[in-house]
Amino acid sequence: MKRIKLKFMVDPEWLKEHTYIEDPVRVKIVDPEAIFLTGILGESGREMCLAGFPFIFERKLAENLINKWIAEKIEEEPT
């Protein structure tokens, strides 16, 4: 997986310690342009999608993206 140059990011340790996603589903975005147009992810997010980064969404949102062919579920469960 290639590294993406960012102008900013949330501190991953802080994020892991202070946030959670209820009923999480891990997905791979298969249509980066569509996810960008939804407004869920910005330009950096689109670049991460193109690089193959996995994302974790709340189940309802993940299922919506999967049903619209924007994402595919990754079978391993998020931690």
**What pLDDT is stored for residue 11 in this prediction?**
94
Rounded distance, CA 20 to CA 14, Å? 11
| Domain residue ranges in the chain | 31-79
Q: What is the pLDDT along the chain (79 residues), one digit of tens a residue?
A: 678 888 888 899 999 999 999 999 999 999 999 988 898 988 888 889 999 999 999 999 999 999 999 999 998 766 5
Contacts 24+ apart (CB under 8 A), 15-24: 21/56, 21/57, 21/58, 21/78, 22/58, 23/58, 23/59, 23/60, 24/56, 24/57, 24/58, 24/59, 24/77, 24/78
**What pLDDT is stored for residue 79 in this prediction?**
58
**What pLDDT is stored for residue 44 in this prediction?**
87
